[in-house]
Amino acid sequence: MARSGATSYQGQARGFLLPSLALVLLVFYLPVLYTFYLSFTKYNGLGTPEFVGLDNFAAMFEDSAFLDAVRNTTIWVVGTLVLPVGLGLLVAVLAYGFRGSGWLRLPFLVPYALSGVAVGVIWSFMLGSGGALTQALQFLDLPGSELRWLQDSPLNTVVMVVAAAWQGVGVNALLFTVGLQSIPKEPLEAARIDGATGWRLFTNMTWPLLRPSTTVVVGLSIVNGLKTFDIVQAMTQGGPARSSETLALTMYRDTFVNSDYGLGSAVAIFLSIVTVGASIIYLRRQLSLSSNSLGGGK
């Protein structure tokens, strides 16, 4: 009796999931397979794709602009980990535990409501040649007004990381705040009684207990850093001369500007492998650490 009830429930659950699963398969996984297939072909959108084996991948790795894009994407990943995550953590820790702290976090959160393109447009206005920042530095007689923020590489990538950080700090602070709120009070009080304060308390007690939040935030930041597109496209379009291009932009340029679908697909597959690989490695390590730290037996 009970058993058939359970299986019928499972069957119903599967039935309800099926349409969504079909949608995801159709709209997401099938195109990914098709992109994988295209990466081994030469195709310009008309006629039929011509199989060329690994030529696209070879061409990709030999292109110096591609290697620059890899370098820029690495800067983005590192930058996204240091700035939005680091500053997010700082804001969360500093603005925690006292009355009205929610209001302190709010200004950081507002930019997150903007789209990447809107952020790009605003910051282009500030960082463009003769833009607001240059004028302000000149007015205040501070150094740096001769710097061409969006035109010299790798300075342009670094300032764009700052623009993205401006947007990303808020949501990371929010996630860390949630993490801080879920830390049980007892261990912290016990540590304080034992004499741990400030920095020592943070590194030895708070930080390890924050691991679930950290896993989420860092994992998301790695993935977001790797797939950076909209801010760079809105600010420099990867220029000048492809010096601020990231891998997602290389993929866009090859596919939509040059109509070289095979090469664009190869870049897309490369980026996907790197992103999935990084996520797997990171999450595996984090989750194995948590299961160890939560104590021995199962």
Nearest to 294 by CA among 207, 176, 211, 206: 211
DSSP-derived letter for residue 98 is S
Kindly state the smallest distance separating residue 43's Cβ from other proteins, in Å. 10
Token pair for 146:
């001769």
Residue 83 CB, shortest distance to other proteins, in Å, is: 25
Number of other residues whose CB lies within 10 A of the CB of residue 256: 12
Q: Which of 233, 221, 229 is nearest to 268 (CA)?
A: 229
Q: How far is the CB of 12 from other proteins (least distance, A)?
A: 6
Interacting residue ranges for other proteins, rule: CB under 8 A: 7-8, 10-12, 14-16, 18-19, 22, 26, 44-47, 124, 128-130, 148, 150-151, 237, 239-243, 252-253, 255-260
Smaller CB distance to other proteins: residue 35 or 215? 35
Pick the closer one to other proteins by CB: 11 or 97: 11
CA-wise closest residue to 69 among 221, 258, 243: 243
Contact between residue 198 and residue 266 where contact means Cβ atoms under 8 Å apart: no
| CB contact at 8 A, 74 and 225 | no
Among candidates 86, 91, 81, which has minimal Cα distance to 177?
91
Compare residues 93 and 137 and give the one whose CB is closer to other proteins. 137
The CB-of-113 to other proteins minimum distance in angstroms stands at 24
Q: Which amino acid is at 289?
A: L
CA–CA separation, 68 and 241 (whole Å)? 11
Residue placing its CB nearer to other proteins in the complex, 156 or 213: 156
Q: Which is nearer to other proteins, 127 or 180 (CB)?
A: 127
CB of 36 to other proteins, least distance (A): 18
Rounded CA separation 132/150 (Å): 13
Nearer CB in complex with other proteins: 62/141: 62
Minimal distance in Å, beta carbon 9 to other proteins?
A: 8
